[in-house]
């Protein structure tokens, strides 16, 4: 009997990570790839397609948290189109910081301070309303980010 699985892709500026969880609770493949932010990664589409092609055939659903998603409508539509064309099953797509906040607070309110390639403060209340400060890239600040520190 084949065990069904679920999968998640965290697509950030520095890395993209695919994690598969089997129905029995065991961890399936965990695959690391280069960053997939469409604002600074020319090859973002092939990175996502490559990871989706490595999903087990038993994958029932895929959730993606992608850098840049929802911040510029044309880019977000392209990201969604790439996923839909290569994984037409049930999937959820959102911003990478939104998915980090969901994972950290499990639907409850909280404040997430993220300092990675970029930096952002993301707050969600108990009603699911969200707000953010920062996370707009090096041209607009990103104080505390790896880019900012390196500069």
Q: How many CB atoms lie within 10 A of CB 111?
A: 12
Q: Is 119 exposed, middle or buried (0-12, 13-18, 19+ CB in 10 A)?
A: buried
Tens digits of residue pLDDT in 46-102: 999 999 999 999 999 999 998 878 765 676 778 888 888 888 877 888 888 888 888
Over the chain, what is the mean pLDDT? 84
pLDDT at 77: 79
* Structural domain total, the chain: 1
User: At 151, is the secondary structure helix, strand, or coil?
Assistant: coil
Among left, alpha and beta (phi > 0; psi -120 to 50; other), residue 112 is beta
pTM exceeds 0.95, yes or no = no
20 band by pLDDT with thresholds 50, 70 and 90 = very high
Q: Which domain holds residue 78?
A: 5-150
Domain of 120: which CATH number?
A: 3.30.420.40
């Amino acid at each position: 009997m084949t065990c069904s699985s679920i999968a998640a892709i965290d697509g950030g500026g520095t890395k993209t990570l695919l994690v598969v969880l089997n129905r029995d609770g065991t961890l399936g493949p965990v695959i690391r790839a280069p960053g997939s932010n469409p604002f600074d990664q020319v090859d973002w589409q092939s990175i996502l397609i490559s990871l989706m092609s490595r999903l087990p055939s038993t994958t029932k659903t895929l959730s993606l948290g992608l850098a840049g998603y929802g911040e510029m409508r044309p880019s977000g539509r392209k990201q969604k189109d790439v996923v839909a064309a290569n994984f037409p099953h049930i999937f959820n797509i959102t911003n990478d910081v939104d998915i980090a906040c969901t994972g950290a607070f499990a639907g409850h309110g909280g404040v997430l301070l993220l300092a990675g390639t970029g930096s952002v403060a993301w707050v969600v209340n108990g009603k699911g309303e969200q707000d953010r400060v920062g996370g707009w890239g090096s041209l607009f600040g990103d104080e505390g980010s790896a880019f900012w520190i390196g500069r």
